[in-house]
Structure 1
Amino acid sequence: MPTLEFKGKQHIYAHHLTVPYRPLEPDKTRSCNPTDTDDNLIIHGDNLHALKALLPRYANRIKCIYIDPPYNTGNEGWVYNDNVNSPVMQQWLTENAPVDNEDLERHDKWLCMMWPRLHLLKELLSDDGIIFISIDDNEVHHLRMLMDEILGDENFLADIIWQHRYGRSNNAKLFSNQREHVIAYRKSDAVSHIRVKRNEELNETYSNPDNDPRGSWVSASYVNPATKEQRPNLVYPLTNPYTGESVNHPTHAWKYSQSTHEKHVTKDRLWWGLDGNLRYPRLKNFLSESEEKGIVPIDLMLADIAGTTDEGTKQLQTVFQSAALEFNNPKPTRLIANLIGIAEGVSRKNDTIVLDSFAGSGTTAHAVLDLNREDGGNRKFILIECEDYADTITAERVRRVINGVPDARDNALREGLGGSFTYCTLGKPIEIETMLTGEALPSYAALAANLLYTTSGASIGADTVGAKNEDGLFHSDDENDYYLLYKPDLEWLRSNAAILNLERAERIRDASRDTGRKAIVYAAGNYIGQRELTQMGIIFCQLPDALHER
């Protein structure tokens, strides 16, 4: 498969693996009706670090990812500031910042920015999940090649065209652009079938001229495009039940085998007209059956269906009750709702976790809350925003739509959509250099969650982790029991209590014999030889080395 080469790729190729783990720190004062451990999240911080922080809990769990990264038009003035450990890279980045139209290497920098983030998003995406990326013509060709390399070209689903504006711009010199791209990829072939809900416009094409008790229907031709010579096995006489006449097509075969046709007759699925005056029958397809099955999505989202950027601006101004509020090209909630609908068209469930790591004005959360209100779903959102407006615009918008906007015309928005979220910032990195020096000691739960993910790739919520017994058991799976001897206390970590000794090892051995599982023990040190540990069925991982095993 062809790959895309760009300046800096060799330096950032594995950068996502070196990003330090920084635990999420809830901020109750900025949260809104926070509930439990499975709350919606709004995270203020660098999205590269925030995505890494989500891995211990959300790896392989996100069903729908939507991101709206910088389009790199040359007019945005975004800054690439990832802390890549390469002097050559650092010099290159500082020479031209911010990235603008004068930067002849802006495409390389954009690709360097996207590469590690897409790798982490891939780890978070579930096997039956879909990622959607909004982009325009400036980077769509580069993005496709990047996604082909990271997710595989066999997992490309669609280049969805979104009509983001109605009218043409007479300020354009060559062409007036009316559409953007939404690139869609799956994680794996677990996404093999997508059916979305029908809309009212499609339902209006159904009618019931013969008062069929099964409800409204549409009909489809019974005549095959293939000729009799091409499909001789589909040639047989039909009988018009109104006239009793034998019916044959002069040149073409029927669409269905004779045995299937007989089932259609038995189930009264053929439409010959109100008085039997149709020359050939048509097959009835009932609305009730179509609603149950859903319809296949198409790669075109017109403004009438998905909204426009003007609509997104008006929604934002309505929420903030300010016509003067300016935010560049906010997406409309209808666009995001349609994309979520496609992701949910795989499993037909409305409990999707939706992640947006370029959250901007918070449209994704607004869309999720709208959908939950509409159908009683239990969808969750995770927003990440690095800019200073994460609290004043991103989170504030969500607070307002949850609690209600007094002057809104829409009844639901005026009353409030309900819901909650926990506002988080990023804690200090868990690093080898500071781990046992007393600097930035992580909590037991944060360290345990990170160790589990680093060792096994399993995800678990840090806020649900705790030592279940005196020996530090904090998690079990089919094969292993996981133990962590740790307290965020430097004196304790330097004491014998933090060491795996024979007495504790024997208790762990006995527990493992009862469960039939191996024991993995994380501790600052141990007093037992490797041979004895092996005989006991214990795998010892010394802190902080265990942080870098995977």
Structure 2
Amino acid sequence: MPILNWIGKEAVVNHDKDVPFRLLKKVKSLSYGENSQNLIIHGDNLEALKALMPYYQGQVKCIYIDPPYNTGNEGWVYNDKVNSPKIKKWLGKVVGSESEDLCRHDKWLCMMYPRLKLLRDLLSDDGVIFVSIDDNELVSLRSIMDDLFNEQNRVDRGILIWNNAGSTRGFRRIVKNHEYILAYGKNQELVESVYAKNFPTISDTIDERLQIKRTNRNPLAKVTFPKGLKIEGVSDIIFRDSVGRGTNRIDIINGTMEFKNGKLVKDVLLEASFPYKNQMIEFFSKLGTSEKTYDYKGQEWLEVYFRKNGVPYFRKKRGTVVLGSVINNCANSGSPDLEKLGMKNVFSNPKPVELIKRLLAFFTDKNALILDSFAGSGTTGQAVLDLNKEDGGNRKFILIEIGEKLKEPIKLDDGTILANTEQITTERVKRAINKYDYKTGFEYCELDKPLFNEDGQIEQECTFEQLATYIYFTETNTNIDKKEISGNFIGDYDETEYYLIFKEKGKNILSKGFLEKLKKDNKKKVIYADKCLIDERTLEKYKIQFKQIPYEVKVY
């Protein structure tokens, strides 16, 4: 397999190993709701992804990212030339003076490679990553994705095309009306086993459908035909009682269909009993269809769909629903989604909620964790919440946004001022929660000081509060409220209390004397220390679970 090379590759190919493990610090004033496991993280996504590794390595079921397309367009809200001060500073530090000779494609590859590497490690073995891109970096992106995920783990053929209508501005003869979405898994066989069992609630729009259930005796058809339905080849005609004779008779159990000038006079709920499959075909052929049915032997249901002109056609119900490689029947832009939230003209070319929902519906179950490390306007967050509301799911999202300062602050109609890109993300998700009554919230986090160094060892100057922050998030996937810390008590969650005994590394003992410091209630208590001198019977009596303080994490 060909290997892509570029200036600066040697400096970044293992750079993810040099990034320290930083803590996540909750900003309560910018969070929304209580004890939510949805996260919006403000910070460089390379450091944020590394900060997530101790908690979420191998647990993310679906990743969607919409990184800079590297178009050279400096006018967008999200700088799309990989030329922001933060990226330039990072390249100078990591790549060195050689970065001055990098073309914009080299810079883009240097920026993307270590981030994709960490995303791969966060992805579960049966998970899928989707990356939006256009022609500018399609070839480069596919090459590094093949390198990191392996060509064999492309999901099916590994590429989707989203028809976004394009623009007719300018003098172009050929209008580019599509973008690409690359799809990869860590293990293609496991991915297939997951989505083969998943039945998404989102499917192509079908005006009407007929389900035919095979009874012990005869296939029974039920369908509502709407008033005004026009059937090709039908003029003035009435169907009632039966069609055919003798043993071949099709009994119309309920309903009369009357057509005038080719249009149905009124709504009709039709029930018909069919002795044989061929009689069913013949019956619907009288309504103008020439489509042949599939053999439904052994199938409980056969579905009949209607073309736009109202003519029914048959389709065997499959064990799964397929996602077309060309996504046509989806919104062309996400701008209307933002406008409905009172956020007009705050973000250029956002992805539509429906597009992300379509991907999530096919490749996540109802309890999946979804990650977007280029969160932008927050479309992925709203898509997760909307899909949960639609199918009763409990999916969680993690959004990461670097927080570029906008060239000019944006004032919304209600007076809200947005000065940074991460404010767009949080404001959008908060407004969507309020407008559509999503039963959840999110925790807003910033990157704090490193707790573990690049070798995975705890920092010597680690404080009680830092260690408590790490332990509490490890246990609950929510961030600690430092105001709740009282002595050794660091917080509670879901009827469980958490305690930490820590003053000096290796000398923190859980003894019977510590029992006096516990809250007098019936809740389970998890206590972290170096050693435990309490017998099992007493631990059980006080509902205590002892855990050793983690002084190191796995190096990824």
User: Normalising to structure 1: TM-score of the pair?
Assistant: 0.65
In the TM superposition, residue 382 of structure 1 has moved relative to its aligned partner by: 1.1
Q: How far apart are the structure 1 equivalents of 2:468 and 2:275?
A: 61
Q: Partner residue of 1:497?
A: 507
Question: Which of these residues, 331, 334, 346, is aligned with residue 307 of structure 1?
Answer: 331
Give the one of 273, 284, 299 matched to 2:282. 273
Give distance in 2, aligned partners of 1:547 and 1:61. Answer: 16
**Is the Cα contact below 8 Å between 1:160 and 1:301 reproduced in 2?**
yes
Residue 397 of structure 2 is matched in structure 1 by 381
- 2 CA distance for matches of 1:65 and 1:419? 21
Structure 1's 208 and 291: CA in aligned 2 closer, same or farther, altered over 3 A? closer
How far apart, in 1, do the equivalents of 2:139 and 2:389 lie?
37
Q: 2:448 aligns with which of 417, 427, 438?
A: 427
- CA distance 1:81–1:92, shift in 2 (3 Å): farther
Q: Aligned partner of 1:329: which letter?
A: N
Q: Is the 8 A contact 1:41 1:422 kept in 2?
A: yes
Match of 1:338 in 2: 358
Shift, 1:424, TM fit: 0.8
Q: Spell out, residue by residue over 1:429-482, the C-alpha distance to the aligned partner (whole angstroms, 9 max, x if none).
A: 1255996553777622445589x9xxxxxx974759xxxxxxxxxxxxxxxxxx
380-389 vs 327-336, which deviates more? 380-389
310, 318, 334: which one pairs with 2:340? 318
Structure 1 residue 60 and structure 2 residue 73: aligned?
A: no
C-alpha distance in 2 between matches for 1:360 and 1:16? 23
Partner secondary structure for residue 95 of structure 2? helix
SS in structure 2 at match of 1:293: coil
SS of corresponding position for 1:273: helix
SS in structure 1 opposite 2:295? strand
How far did residue 69 of structure 1 move?
A: 0.1
Q: In structure 2, do the counterparts of structure 1 residues 521 and 280 end up closer, same or farther at CA, with 3 Å as the change threshold? A: closer
Look up the match of 1:468: none
Partner of 2:427: 396
User: Residues of 1 paired with 2:16 and 2:375: CA distance?
Assistant: 20
Identity %: 35
Check if 1:144 corresponds to 2:153.
Answer: no
Distance 1:507 1:337, change over 3 A: closer
Equivalent position of 2:374 in the other structure = 358
> Which is strand-richer, 1 or 2?
2
Task: Report how many residues are paired.
Answer: 423
Q: Which amino acid counterpart does residue 213 of structure 1 have in structure 2?
A: L
String of CA shifts for 1:172-195, please: whole Å, max 9, x gaps.
Answer: 445211000011111212112435
Preserved contact between residue 202 and residue 361 of structure 2 (Cα < 8 Å): no
Unaligned runs of 5+ in 2: 74-79, 225-245, 250-273, 305-314, 405-419, 481-498, 511-528, 540-545
User: Is the contact made by 2:113 and 2:144 (CA closer than 8 Å) also made in structure 1?
Assistant: yes
Task: For 1:122-137, list aligned pairs within 5 A.
Answer: 122-137=120-135
Q: Which moved more, 1:69-78 or 1:187-196?
A: 187-196
The alignment's TM-score, normalised by the length of structure 2, stands at 0.64
The residue type paired with residue 335 of structure 2 is T
1-structure distance, mates of 2:465, 2:367: 32
In the TM superposition, 1:81-92 aligns within 5 A as 81=87, 89-92=95-98
State how 1:134-533 maps to structure 2 within 5 Å. 134-157=132-155, 158-165=158-165, 168-173=167-172, 175-188=174-187, 189-193=189-193, 194=195, 196-197=200-201, 199=203, 201-202=205-206, 204=208, 206=210, 212-213=219-220, 215=222, 242=248, 269=277, 271=280, 273-274=282-283, 283-284=295-296, 286-287=302-303, 293-302=319-328, 305-309=329-333, 312-320=334-342, 322=344, 325-344=345-364, 349-388=365-404, 389-404=420-435, 413=436, 416-432=437-453, 438=461, 443-448=466-471, 461=477, 487=502, 492-493=503-504, 497-498=507-508
Kindly provide the amino acid, as one letter, of the partner of residue 30 in structure 1.
L
Name the CA distance, whole Å, in 2 between partners of 1:445 and 1:292. Answer: 51
Question: How far apart are residue 428 of structure 1 and its match?
Answer: 0.8
Q: Which runs of 5+ in 1 are unaligned?
A: 97-103, 218-239, 244-265, 405-412, 453-458, 465-483, 524-542
Q: Which SS does the other structure have where 1:184 is aligned?
A: strand
Structure-1 separation of matches of 2:471 and 2:277: 61
